[in-house]
Amino acid sequence: MADPTPRRAAVALNITIIGAGLGGLSAAISCALAGHNVLVLEGAKQLAEIGAGLQITPNASRLFAQWDILERLRPLAAEPTYLAVRRYSDGKILSLTEDFNDDMMRKYGAPFWDLHRVDLQRMMYDRAIELGAKVRLGARVADIDFETPSLTLEGGEVLNADLLVGADGLWSKCRERFLATEGKTDAPLPTGDLAYRIVLKADEIEDTELRDWIKNASVNFWAGPGAHVVAYSLRGGEMFNIVLLQPDDLPEGVARQAGTASEMRESLKGWDPVLTRFLNHVKEVDKWKLMHRPELDSWVSEKSNFVFLGDACHPMLPYLAQGANSSLEDGAVLGHVIATLESKVQLPQALAMYEQLRKKRGEAIVRETFAQRHDFHMPDGPEQEQRDRLMLSKLGKKIDVKFPSRWQCESDVQPWLYGYDAKAETEAALKSSPYT
Ligand SMILES: Cc1cc2nc3c(=O)[nH]c(=O)nc-3n(C[C@H](O)[C@H](O)[C@H](O)COP(=O)(O)OP(=O)(O)OC[C@H]3O[C@@H](n4cnc5c(N)ncnc54)[C@H](O)[C@@H]3O)c2cc1C
């Protein structure tokens, strides 16, 4: 159901968002709902999401209800009935949450869904347009003037706005120009890992056991030495998304490159045979270098006329599936902090509140993704044996301790991630420090 009373600002700002990824579209929907005039500039000539899956956790799916797209997305989702962590070599279950979908709804009041990225991006794009946002595709930003503020598109066109939003992802031009104002530069840094991303269609697979895996939606991890695999269904069980996370062997400076199905299978030699059976269906596959970036000092420009969100300011390892989810949170909070503006003069206070609500959390999630890598990638040995003993000791029990699978850690990481409510957080902040 739509947010029954979306607040609308007393003054409508002209907001230009750079990038129509999930973060940019979240900001577009949220800022349009708050009554502002929104223009999104997207460099790609067509919407650019890649043809792969995405885990959407309750902290983001609760926003879909507020944006009135939850029910429209439901038929496109797969809702995992269990989540399991397995030993890499034989698939033995180390940790299991049964009735995972019900557990999520009960605890967080919003679903855990696996979606095809293209479905989500298309739905958010359509909703943004429905709410009055304008989107220009093939409009690549080449430069930004943080004084005016204004931006220059490739081709020379100059556009002014009251507020610019840098949502242009890991390789952000906004970030490059922003740092240049301080005489600084930085660049995406290798994390040391890469991802093979695979999507299989159930109706192209004859093996009935594999089809059952796909039809009965679940989330499975296989944790191995220096690597892990995650697999889940998409589109109500029509498709299967598999991601292999492994040590990076791509040349320096190469972010994405075609891999071969045989080298990929070779890399999982000695792993659970069911994985090899899935991988035997792969014909083509790409390798993606996983990158991160140093923390920025600030996400807001000195004149409070520019703000960052998403991968442009907090790219992370995908090991907690929070990159997109947290960029959706960013966009939602941005919309909420500018929904109560009574005049443009209050914009600096609103953006300071946005930064205060988002920066610490975004950067903490980044750090947690590296901690998850440590726990999922342990080499066989005493530390791994201790980890497995702990996981096995909690089979069938409440996971009320610090747990190697943060996805299931009920005492700590899971409620911190999935329990986050962008709207409630902003309302509490506005109540304790209203704009003057
Ligand atoms: C293997 C893998 C699996 C993942 N799985 C998950 C998951 O399950 N759940 C999850 O939450 N996250 C996941 N992530 C992370 C997630 O994909 C990203 O964090 C998220 O998509 C970032 O969104 P964004 O909008 O900030 O950036 P992007 O999606 O990168 O969007 C940026 C947009 O800006 C445009 N752009 C760039 N430069 C310009 C310019 N100069 N002018 C105009 N437009 C420009 C781009 O074309 C693009 O459309 C995964 C990542 C990887 C690598």
Distance 310 CA to ligand 1 centre (A): 8
CB-neighbour burial class of residue 262 (10 A; exposed 0-12, middle 13-18, buried 19+): exposed
Residue type, 15: I
Q: Which of 154, 183, 155, 151 is closest to 166 using CA atoms?
A: 151
Predicted pLDDT of residue 300: 98
Distance separating alpha carbons of residues 110 and 302, to the nearest angstrom:
37
Check whether 179 has a pLDDT greater than 80.
yes
Q: Let me know: does 124 contact 22? Beta carbons within 8 Å.
A: yes
Check whether 262 has a pLDDT greater than 70.
yes
Pocket test for ligand 1, best of 168, 314, 320 (most atoms within 8 A of CB): 168
Distance 155 CA to ligand 1 centre (A): 24
Q: Which whole number is the average pLDDT over 383-396?
A: 98
Distance 328 CA to ligand 1 centre (A): 11
Pocket test for ligand 1, best of 22, 229, 289 (most atoms within 8 A of CB): 22
Q: Which whole number is the average pLDDT over 276-303?
A: 96
Ligand 1 atom with minimal separation from the 316 CA: 19
Q: Which whole number is the average pLDDT over 219-242?
A: 97
Ligand 1 atom with minimal separation from the 54 CA: 8
Predicted pLDDT of residue 413: 97
Check whether 278 has a pLDDT greater than 70.
yes
**Helices 422-432, 323-337: crossing angle, 10 deg rounding:** 40
Q: Which of 275, 267, 269 is closest to 246 using CA atoms?
A: 267
pLDDT > 70: what percent of the chain?
99
| 289 or 5: which leads in pLDDT | 289
Distance 48 CA to ligand 1 centre (A): 9
Checking DSSP bridges between strand 134-137 and strand 37-42, what pairing results, if any? parallel
Distance separating alpha carbons of residues 297 and 423, to the nearest angstrom:
25
Residues 6+ apart with CB under 8 A from 375: 223, 387, 404, 405, 406
Residues 6+ apart with CB under 8 A from 29: 67, 124, 127, 128, 131, 133, 331, 335
Residues 6+ apart with CB under 8 A from 103: 97
How high does pLDDT run on average in the chain?
Answer: 97
Distance separating alpha carbons of residues 325 and 416, to the nearest angstrom:
13
Q: Which whole number is the average pLDDT over 234-240?
A: 96
Check whether 4 has a pLDDT greater than 80.
no
Pocket test for ligand 1, best of 16, 42, 64 (most atoms within 8 A of CB): 42
Q: Which whole number is the average pLDDT over 405-411?
A: 96
Predicted pLDDT of residue 48: 84
Distance 21 CA to ligand 1 centre (A): 6
Ligand 1 atom with minimal separation from the 173 CA: 41
Ligand 1 atom with minimal separation from the 288 CA: 53
Q: Which whole number is the average pLDDT over 336-359?
A: 98
Distance 324 CA to ligand 1 centre (A): 7
Name the DSSP letter for residue 235. Answer: G
- Length of the chain in terms of residues written: 436
Distance 167 CA to ligand 1 centre (A): 9
pLDDT in tens, 50-65: 889 999 999 999 999 9
Check whether 6 has a pLDDT greater than 90.
no
Predicted pLDDT of residue 2: 58
pLDDT in tens, 293-345: 999 999 999 999 999 999 999 999 999 999 999 999 999 999 999 999 999 99
pLDDT in tens, 363-388: 999 999 999 999 999 999 999 999 99
Distance 316 CA to ligand 1 centre (A): 11
Q: Which whole number is the average pLDDT over 163-177?
A: 98
Q: Let me know: does 243 contact 198? Beta carbons within 8 Å.
A: yes
3-state secondary structure 18-80: ECCCHHHHHHHHHHHHCCCEEEEEECCCCCCCCCCEEEECHHHHHHHHHCCCHHHHHHHCECC
Q: Which whole number is the average pLDDT over 87-108?
A: 98
Biggest distance spanned by C-alpha atoms of the chain: 65
Ligand 1 atom with minimal separation from the 315 CA: 19
The structural domains of the chain, with segments of one domain joined by +, span 14-75+117-187+295-375+410-432
Within 6 A (CB) of ligand 1 lie 18-24, 41-44, 48, 54-55, 140-141, 167-170, 173, 195, 197, 243, 288, 290, 310-311, 318, 321-325, 327
Q: Let me know: does 78 contact 234? Beta carbons within 8 Å.
A: yes
Predicted pLDDT of residue 193: 98
Protein residue with least CA distance to atom 38, ligand 1: 168
Q: Which helix (H) or strand (E) holds 296?
A: none
Predicted pLDDT of residue 380: 98
Q: pLDDT category, 1, cuts 50, 70, 90?
A: low
Distance 315 CA to ligand 1 centre (A): 9
Distances (CA, A) of 295 to 194, 323, 356, 359, 368: 21, 15, 14, 9, 14
Ligand 1 atom with minimal separation from the 60 CA: 11
Q: Which of 288, 421, 292, 310 is closest to 369 using CA atoms?
A: 292
Residues 6+ apart with CB under 8 A from 382: none
Pocket test for ligand 1, best of 26, 54, 319, 406 (most atoms within 8 A of CB): 54
Distance separating alpha carbons of residues 248 and 36, to the nearest angstrom:
43
Distance separating alpha carbons of residues 418 and 319, to the nearest angstrom:
15
Q: Which whole number is the average pLDDT over 202-216?
A: 96
Q: Which helix (H) or strand (E) holds 412?
A: none
Ligand 1 atom with minimal separation from the 195 CA: 1
Report CA torsion sign: 296, 299, 304, 309.
positive
Return the CATH number of the domain spanning residue range 14-75+117-187+295-375+410-432.
Answer: 3.50.50.60
Predicted pLDDT of residue 22: 98
